[in-house]
Amino acid sequence: MPESAYFHIPFCVNICHYCDFNKVFLKGQPVNEYLDSMEKEMENTLELSPFSSMKTLFVGGGTPTALNAEQFERFLAMVNRHFSSPDRLEFTVESNPEQTDLRKLEIMRDAGVNRLSIGVQAFQEKLLKELGRTHNQQDVVRTVTDAKRLGLDNLSLDIMFSLPRQTVDMLKETLDIAFSLDVPHFSAYSLQLERKTVFYNRAVKGELLLPEQEEEARMYEVLMEEMDKHGYVQYEISNFAKPGYESMHNLQYWDNNEYYGIGAGAHSYVNGTRKANAGPLKKYMSLIEETGFPYIHEDVLSASEKMEEELFMGLRKMNGISDQRFIKRYGRSMFDVFGSQIDKLLERGLVKVSGDKLALTRNGTFLGNEVFQEFIGVV
């Protein structure tokens, strides 16, 4: 039974050059009608599959803070109306610095939001322009300062590396500025070229100058070293936190737990079934109107698929996977189910065994996708 829920706000004031998430330009969109559809999906979903406890909520996009103050307040009230729980631990909202003014921060605080994930990516104006971002360093500083002043001090900054024309020194500069803001959590991702993005199209034409593979690996190494030096524990391949400030919501995903997904393009995992919502707004809204649900794909997972997901999701965590927990869930040891794959990875030095836990080695963190691939389609 899910104890977490994700909500998708697909609207953006501008479209970043690397982003392949489900999103649309805000101007001229039927925002209020979309919120009506979201509320219907919330009601129908919970009528079909009610929860007994709701520990974490996460609002992503798109850009949730692209909503105007009235819409934003209405949306958060809807979430609280349907997904409130006395044992809620974490309520996260993603925000863009240039669209997160004091009023929206007050709305979040008053609605019980207690964690903010701020899209920063870099602090060099040239890099931000290259990425299609419209904020600057001052916007980030203001957002962090205002949030802390209102008591919203559980803050996470998103950082990107391996960007076009980015150097190791530029990444170090970004990290130095980020550390000076004294926030307890960072998510740091290397650029991935995704289809249907500006960057992908430029790369196909040979117009995108990206760091070499060795340079990207060096950036990741510098990232890990600097985070450690400043007291941030790497608890997942791309996430670093001061002790006690790990993202509880994202840990639900990496622990392969169930969750609700509400909104256009959202995904859910409920009662052993993964479902995908329609992405285009018109299709999402018309499906809600016609059937009450926006699903375009449903996949009932087999026991073998669940075990595979347990491995390739759980190995993202530096703490790894407990065999005791695996046995409790599936009635078999992961060392029996995936013995040959684990032996192969042990031989390559990409995973390690400590007690009943299987985890990535330091080398394994650089080759995570190769490790995860070993567990797909083998049972």
The whole-number average pLDDT for the span 303-309 is 93
Per-domain residue ranges of the chain = 4-254, 319-373
Task: Decide if 4-254 and 319-373 have a common fold.
Answer: no
Verdict on whether the full-model pTM lies above 0.85 = yes
Q: What is the pLDDT of residue 379?
A: 61
Angle between helices 281-291 and 31-48 (to 10 degrees): 40
- 155-161/115-121 β-pairing: parallel
Look-up: residue for tokens 């929206």?
Answer: 104
Q: Does 352 have pLDDT greater than 80?
A: yes
Which alpha helices (DSSP H) does the chain contain, by range? Answer: 31-48, 69-83, 102-110, 125-131, 137-149, 168-180, 198-204, 213-229, 248-254, 281-291, 303-314, 323-330, 334-337, 339-347, 362-366, 368-373
* Cβ pair 89, 37 in contact under 8 A: no
pLDDT tens digits for 131-143? 788 888 899 999 9
Helix (H, G, I), strand (E, B), or coil: what is residue 237?
coil
CATH class of 4-254: alpha beta
pLDDT tens digits for 199-210? 777 777 877 778
Query: What mean pLDDT, rounded, does the chain reach?
Result: 92
CATH topology of domain 319-373: Arc Repressor Mutant, subunit A (1.10.10)
The whole-number average pLDDT for the span 233-244 is 96
- CA pair distance 206, 258, nearest whole angstrom: 41
Reported as a pLDDT band with limits 50, 70 and 90, residue 225 is very high
The whole-number average pLDDT for the span 34-53 is 97
Residues with Cβ < 8 Å from 28, sequence gap 6 or more?
none
